């Protein structure tokens, strides 16, 4: 495996770092406090060509690969985990089309998202179907050249501000193999954002309940022109799991840097906190965890670029996602402990990092789902230490 970053990787990382420091860092606390969508984040990321990193160059994307996106996400998540999700959301909402759509669908539906002309969202989760993806109740009924979609989707990241969504529904009730993906313009009659969630963290990107009340779409809005089964949503989720881990790595790096700077300045027992072995060991353990997680995430990104995100290969992506997101929670907690009472105050960003980190172990497959995937790989010998 090549550990050196390419020139393109370095340029994308540096662009993201610049946006993070100049635009995101000064606004992160306010965005969290008000829970107002930060359009300035979106426009800055668009201007830096960071919204379509994995999307085809022919339609306006950078086609720079998953590692490049992971690097960009890592940089912005140091200051605001919402910004990392904002970068990732364009891919989440279009990878199914990129993988399985027709050339015309890629041009029509991926291009505007890649160019930052439209915001998009991925509509999979339902009130009774979260981790159990096969249990979707959403249905799509054929009516001539149209499909009529009836569904309620919840916890949809970016849904309340989306211009288009990709929604998964079954064409045959009870049959997971009939699961199809449809691209829906949010101005279509019958589509409604019925509520916006009040969240513990990651407040810069709203989530909500989206209702599809007999929404009519043309047949050419069905991705690939036929039901994709479970491979549609799962290929997309697998391909982006390392990037959820990248959000965790960035968050942990930001928390560690803040705690270290505080420990250098704060004096106790006759010297700075950094003179105390208890603090030194905390910082060292935080660094060890970050470095291990970063390697797993970068390897996961590389595996996706090699096309290894299918059912027989996805376990290493689950390893990266589970470890990096759980690591972020541990590191955020330790960073608060270093600051003591100050860490608990809203005057410092660590309590926000702590709240944001908790989301990461739930989205794009919970930690428990990741362990189920890893255990199955061990039992089936797709992952072996023999």
Told to judge if 351 belongs to the known catalytic residues of this protein, a careful annotator would answer no
In the block, residue with structure tokens 């309620």: 152
Sign of the CA dihedral with 131 first, then 155, 66, and 68 last: negative
d(C-alpha 331, C-alpha 285), whole Å: 9
Secondary structure (3-state) at 185: strand
Element (H, E) at 164: strand 164-170
d(C-alpha 299, C-alpha 180), whole Å: 31
Element (H, E) at 111: helix 111-114
Catalytic residue, candidates 126, 253, 334, 364: 364
In the block, residue with structure tokens 């662009």: 15
Give the list of residues 6+ apart from residue 272 with CB closer than 8 angstroms, or none: 263, 264, 265, 266
In the block, residue with structure tokens 């043309």: 218
- The 8 Å CB, 24+ separation contacts for 56-59 are 56/98, 56/106, 56/110, 56/114, 58/107, 59/106, 59/107, 59/110, 59/111, 59/114, 59/115
Which residues are part of the catalytic machinery?
A: 364
């Amino acid at each position: 495996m090549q550990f050196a970053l390419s020139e393109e990787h370095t340029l994308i990382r540096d662009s993201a770092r610049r946006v993070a420091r100049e635009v995101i860092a000064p606004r992160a606390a306010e965005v969290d406090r008000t829970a107002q969508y930060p359009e300035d984040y979106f426009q800055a990321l668009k201007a830096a060509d960071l919204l379509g990193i994995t999307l085809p160059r022919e339609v306006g994307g950078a086609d720079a690969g998953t590692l490049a996106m992971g690097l960009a996400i890592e940089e912005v998540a140091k200051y605001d985990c919402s910004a990392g999700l904002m970068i990732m959301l364009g891919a989440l909402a279009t990878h199914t089309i990129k993988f399985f759509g027709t050339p015309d669908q890629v041009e029509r539906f991926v291009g505007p998202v890649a160019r930052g002309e439209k915001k998009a969202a991925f509509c999979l989760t339902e009130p009774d179907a979260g981790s159990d993806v096969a249990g979707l109740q959403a249905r799509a009924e054929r009516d001539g050249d149209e499909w009529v979609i009836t569904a309620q989707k919840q916890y949809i990241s970016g849904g309340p501000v989306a211009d288009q969504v990709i929604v998964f529904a079954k064409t045959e009730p009870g049959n997971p193999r009939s699961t199809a993906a449809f691209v829906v313009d949010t101005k279509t009659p019958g589509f409604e954002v019925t509520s916006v969630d009040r969240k513990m963290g990651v407040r810069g990107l709203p989530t909500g309940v989206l209702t599809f009340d007999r929404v009519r779409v043309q047949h050419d809005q069905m991705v690939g022109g036929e039901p994709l089964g479970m491979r549609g949503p799962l290929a997309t989720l697998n391909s982006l799991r390392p990037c959820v881990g990248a959000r965790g790595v960035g968050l942990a790096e930001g928390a560690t840097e803040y705690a270290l700077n505080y420990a250098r300045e704060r004096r106790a027992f006759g010297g700075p906190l950094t003179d105390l072995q208890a603090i030194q060991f905390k910082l060292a353990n935080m660094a060890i965890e970050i470095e291990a997680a970063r390697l797993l995430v970068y390897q996961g990104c590389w595996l996706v670029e090699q096309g290894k995100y299918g059912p027989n290969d996805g376990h290493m992506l689950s390893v990266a996602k589970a470890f990096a997101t759980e690591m972020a929670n541990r590191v955020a907690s330790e960073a608060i402990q270093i600051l003591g009472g100050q860490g608990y105050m809203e005057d410092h960003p660590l309590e926000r990092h702590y709240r944001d980190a908790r989301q990461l172990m739930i989205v794009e497959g919970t930690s428990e789902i990741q362990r189920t995937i890893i255990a199955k790989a061990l039992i089936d010998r797709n992952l072996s230490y023999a």
